[in-house]
Structure 1
Amino acid sequence: MHHRKTMSAVAVVAASALLLTGCFASGSGQSTDSSGDGRIKLAMLQPPRSGLSPFSDDAFKLSRWSTAETLVNLDEDGDARPALATEWKRVSGTTWELTIRQGVTFHDGSALTAEAAVNTLTRATKASPKPRILDGVELTAKAEGGKVLVTTGQPDPLVPQRLSSPQLAILAPSAYGADGKVNPVGTGSGPYKLVNVNGTTTATLDRYDGYWGEKAKAAGIDASFVPDGTARAAAIRSGQAHIVEAVPVSQAALLDKETVTEVPMPRTNTLYLNTKSGPFTDPGLRAAARAAINAEEIVKGVYEGRADVAKGLLGPALPWAAAGRKELTDRTVAADPKGAAITLATFSDRAELPEVASVLQQQLERAGFKVQQVVREYAHIEQDALAGKFDAFILSRATVLDSGDPVAYMKSDFTCDGSFNIAQLCDQNVDKAVDKATAIEAGDQRRAAILEAEAAVLRTDAAIPMLHERVIQGDATSVVDSARDPRERLLITAATRLK
């Protein structure tokens, strides 16, 4: 069992606070804890990777800063709600019509129009690489009668949900260059205007007083990019930051409890078992592996209690899953492993996973398996995992992608033609259940079909969900109304302020 040395960790925190003071943004205005409209100091996990292009993962930074907005938002259940579009309807099997909100101006002073929205969507389809929400999707957009018409190559009941992706945030036409580059500085429509980006170090945003909705209560945001987790935790302790993304598990216990919030994430740590070759082609041995795993031991020991024991593939970040899930019946009976030799692999990029592998090895060996571990960096192990070269693979996997819907994850990971099928699973019942869910409109019936598909996957024991991760957010006691968003789309909203 892994035990962390608290006293040495405290010393590292203190040293980091001293050494990394210069890494934090000073901002364009005065920052204060005592003024309700003061500037919010934010320490973020990752620096921009693509110059804050909204067509990349950097889009989630623009969304979390409330500077770029989408046509559609999602509620807690993943249902579509109005944003820059006030309403939408399906006008044919493949075409949706959206009504654009009136009275919206971009930060450069230009007006939001149907043509501006179409410009963004069209450029997204031509971007290289395309936003991942458009992977495998043929989408075109045109303006007609002040409306936006979005057409897909195949009927797609999730078009509104797709349009909620931060990678399809609508920017002013001035944001888009002839060279294909996108500049989000001063071209969003949210309550905060991005005014400066200092490479991969800092970004500065000011309140936008021309915002169409509720005006921001804080004067601005001074964001710093601080990849070192110890330094981010130290920033809360020292007052260098008011809000901190992704506090490491090892640092959370060192912070004042009032400054720590744990947010369930739609991310599951799962043991994938190779159903095509090796010992786990035997359903009885897969059932034996399932019976051997004690997820509670992993949560308590490796995650220090800061995770949730899995009851299924979908966790507490999707409240409807627990509410609608039925107890599984007709499970395969566990066979005696009789010393069956297996390779158990994972990757080192996520610090907890090698520890999880060590605990799992002990549990599986107690059950009668003989286990050999393989641990590499993800870039050096993914290809072998997808090729089925391991008997078992531990993966931390997002269960809802940019549409906020888990069907794409189930299709890619567990169907015969899935592009990320580490378990090499090809089961007629699973494919049928996933196809059924795919075709249903968003809402309660689709969610019920998704849970049927989850049950079909679990009955195969090709995937054994162990735990659901939480993201740990740090908020100074002076912060009011920061967002705790499982999808990590929101962080600072118009309502966020300092006491």
Structure 2
Amino acid sequence: MRLPARSLRIAVLSSVSVLLTGCFASSGTGADTGADGKRIRVAMMNPPRSGLSPLSDDAFKLSRWSTAETLVNLDADGDARPSLATSWRQSGRTWSFTLRDSVTFHDGSALTSQAVVNALTEAATASPKPRILDGVDLDVKASGKHTVTVTTATEDPLLPQRLSSPQLSILSAAAYRGKTVDPVGTGTGAFELTKVNGTSSAALDRFDGYWGTKAKAPGIDVTFVPDGTARAAALRSGEADIVEAVPVSQAALLDQELITEVPMPRTNTLYLNTTKSPFEDAGLRAAAREAIDAEAIVEGVYEGRADVARGLLGPALPWAADLRTEPARAKAGDPDGATVTIGTFTDRAELPEVAQTLQQQLQKAGFKVELEVREYANIESDALAGEFDAFILSRATVLDSGDPVAYLYSDFGSQGSFNISQLADPAVDKALAEAGAKEAGPERRTAVMRAEAAVLATDAAIPMLHERVVQGDAAGVVGVEHDPRERLLVTSATYVK
């Protein structure tokens, strides 16, 4: 007898949960229960790629476990707030940071200006550099026991935001040995990383010498579970307390009170080639825009677990909607059977299905549509070279600085390095330059939205939806973070009842 799809999914979840039993047993030094409470069991999607080096994307794991910290944090609006640095001021190309006093690394050494100089210099001279420092030259010097100056080649109004990147975490001198960076026992956060078992698991214990609020939980036990069905099963069976990135296909099968949908700063966009027929014609770009039913894509492909896009910047940026203005656009022309080839990639499971839906919608409007779907590594160069009439991309809209200007410039500036639309529009370039020159804060955000409007006026990009990530939290979990930027997860306030 053939099981219905939903029944089959439940059967798979049940069988996987049996296999997972024991995977989340405590591996740290703290007790599982008792006066100190329970250790927090976390199932994460991606295993470490670079031995948990903070100079790689593994840095975001260290940040989400509250073990490695930066000089600066970001608030919900993307503005800089104190962390290991309590204050800062700018003088031309130089910024001066005052460090928090009485901070101790997990290895017992003190946070000093020299320790910060060492950590930031290691990052600035790494090969490859952390991506937040692409095109940025830093000269870091100690100007006092608790004062550090950072000088850039050109004035950089976003330097504090850059220093909030987890890839610029401050570790003790013991972490930097030869060509490797070892975060075990060298952070400043509420939890000390005590053990890493390759790509399978990691353990952290509460650090009682933490400068901030003492952690409520005695420790964290992390297991890396790349398979989405297995992660969902771990939540369903009670094997994990916190589960990262539950697949949309599994979310409906779980107790809905245990999952939270977090809006991501990521937009699924159809890029139209403005230098190649037929989309060099603004009228036909407008016709494509009017043909697209984004709500049908959200409901059909994402099962309602995404947000229909009103612009390039979505609800993960809480200020964007209120500052958005409707751009003046071209009038739609008649496709009259124009043939277009849409490219996309298989690495994100939803995109091929999005492409098929778009194919049907555009054909209904009068276009003839061909699809070309490959792995991302085999299609990126052709997309950047303008080989396709259109390209579907799921794109992060704020990078490590928490600011969208870098994304807008990269994708839509005439000199942008990721300009799939091949757009070269003076009004867009002017708006981007004005946004990039503003200091962080309300004026910059207003300028950013003017730049978004300038891009949307060209119809070079048609934003369709903003993605969400589904996070699973067991019923007894308290104080867990749901962070759109994926920098926070377990903090001092997190514990299991």
**TM bin (shorter chain):** over 0.9
How far 1:15 sits from its partner (Å)? Answer: 1.3
Q: Which moved more, 1:117-126 or 1:138-147?
A: 138-147
Q: Is the 8 A contact 2:85 2:100 kept in 1?
A: yes
Query: Residue by residue, what CA displacement relative to the aligned partner does 1:221-275 show, whole Å, maximum 9, x if unpaired?
Result: 0000000000000000111100000000000001101100000000000000001
24-33 or 238-247, larger mean C-alpha shift:
24-33
- 2:439 & 2:470 partners in 1: Cα distance? 34
Counterpart secondary structure, 1:449:
helix
CA distance in 2, matches of 1:98, 1:379: 41
1:150 Cα deviation (Å)? 0.4
Once the two structures are TM-superposed, the CA of residue 38 in structure 1 deviates from its matched residue by: 1.1
Q: Could you tell me how far 1:42 is from its partner in structure 2?
A: 0.2
Q: Distance in 1 between matches of 2:26 and 2:81?
A: 36
Aligned CA distance change for structure 1 residues 41 and 278 (closer, same or farther; 3 Å):
same
User: AA paired with 2:170?
Assistant: I
Q: Letter of the aligned partner of 1:240 in structure 2?
A: E
Which position in structure 1 is the counterpart of 2:417? 419
**Residues 36 and 288 (structure 1 numbering): CA distance in 2 closer, same or farther, change over 3 Å?**
farther
Aligned to 1:347: 345
Q: Distance in 1 between matches of 2:123 and 2:29?
A: 34
Instruction: Indicate the SS of the match to 1:66.
Output: coil
Amino acid at match of 2:42: L
Following superposition of structure 1 onto structure 2, how do residues 59-458 of structure 1 map, counting pairs within 5 Å? 59-91=59-91, 93-146=92-145, 147-177=147-177, 179-328=178-327, 330-458=328-456
| Aligned equivalents of 1:46, 1:409: Cα separation in 2 | 24
Preserved CA contact (<8 Å) 1:23 1:201 = no
Deviation at residue 203 of structure 1 after TM alignment? 0.1
**Cα distance, 1:21 vs structure 2:** 3.0
Read off the aligned partner of 2:371 and give its amino acid letter: Q
**1:35 and 1:289 mapped to 2: Cα distance?**
62
Question: What's the CA shift for 1:16?
Answer: 1.1
Deviations 1:189-212 (A, max 9, x none): 000000000000000000000000
How far is 1:145 from its partner? Answer: 2.0
CA-CA distance at 1:138 after TM superposition: 1.1
Amino acid in the other structure paired with 2:339: A
TM-fit CA distance, 1:34: 8.5
Cα distance change of structure 1 residues 181 and 159 upon mapping to structure 2, 3 Å threshold = same
Residues 157 and 439 of structure 2 are in contact (CA less than 8 Å); yes or no, is this contact kept in structure 1? Answer: yes
Cα distance, 1:323 vs structure 2: 1.2
Stretch deviating more after TM superposition (140-149 or 285-294):
140-149
The AA in structure 2 aligned to 1:168 is: L
Tell me the secondary structure at the aligned position of residue 319 of structure 2: helix
Contact 1:203 1:223 in 2 (8 A): yes
2:475 corresponds to which letter in structure 1?
T
Structure 1, 124-133 or 10-19: larger mean CA deviation: 10-19
CA drift at 1:20: 3.2
| Distance in 1 separating the partners of 2:8 and 2:315 | 34
For 1:285 and 1:13, locate their aligned partners in 2 and report how far apart those are by CA, in whole Å: 46
SS at match of 2:279: helix
Residue 68 of structure 1 aligns with an amino acid whose one-letter code is: A
* 1:25, distance to aligned residue in structure 2 (A): 4.9
Q: How many residues align?
A: 493
State how far apart, in whole Å, the 1-side matches of 2:392 and 2:44 are: 27
Verify the 8 A CA contact 1:25 1:223 in the aligned structure 2.
no
For 1:54, the equivalent position in structure 2 comes to 54
Once the 2 structures are TM-superposed, how far is the Cα of residue 277 of structure 1 from its aligned partner? 1.4
Distance 1:275 1:263 in 2: 33
Q: TM-score, normalised by structure 1?
A: 0.97
* CA-CA distance at 1:324 after TM superposition: 1.0
8 Å contact kept, 2:272–2:421: yes
Contact 1:302 1:352 in 2 (8 A): yes
Looking at structure 1, the residues matched to 16 and 235 of structure 2 have their Cα atoms a distance apart, in angstroms, of 12
Specify the alignment match of 1:477 in structure 2: 475
| Cα distance between partner residues in 2 of 1:326 and 1:410 | 17
The 8 Å contact of residues 13 and 229 in structure 2, kept in 1 or not, is answered as yes
Q: Which amino acid aligns with 1:197?
A: V
Unaligned segments of structure 1, at least 5 residues: none
CA distance in 2, matches of 1:30, 1:407: 44
Is contact 2:30–2:218 with CA below 8 Å preserved after alignment?
Answer: no
CA contact (8 A) 1:289 1:364 kept: yes
CA distance in 1 between counterparts of 2:30 and 2:103 reads: 29
Q: What is the identity, as a one-letter code, of the residue corresponding to 1:394?
A: I
Match of 1:493 in 2: 491
Deviations 1:309-362 (A, max 9, x none): 00000000001000111222x210000000000001110011111110010000
Runs (4+) off by over 6 Å: 33-36
Q: Any idea what the Cα deviations from partners look like across 1:401-426, whole Å, max 9, x if unmatched?
A: 00000000001000110000011101
1:114 and 1:31 map into 2 onto residues whose CA distance is: 36
Cα pair 1:265 1:486 within 8 Å, conserved: yes
Aligned-pair CA distance for 1:171? 0.2
Determine whether 1:8 maps to 2:1. no
Rounded Cα–Cα distance in structure 2 between residues aligned with 1:182 and 1:224: 21
1:466 aligns with 2:464: yes
TM-score w.r.t. the length of structure 2 is 0.98
Whether the 8 Å CA contact 1:337–1:367 is kept in 2: the answer is: yes
Name the aligned partner's letter for residue 257 of structure 2: E
Deviation at 1:22, TM superposition (A): 5.0
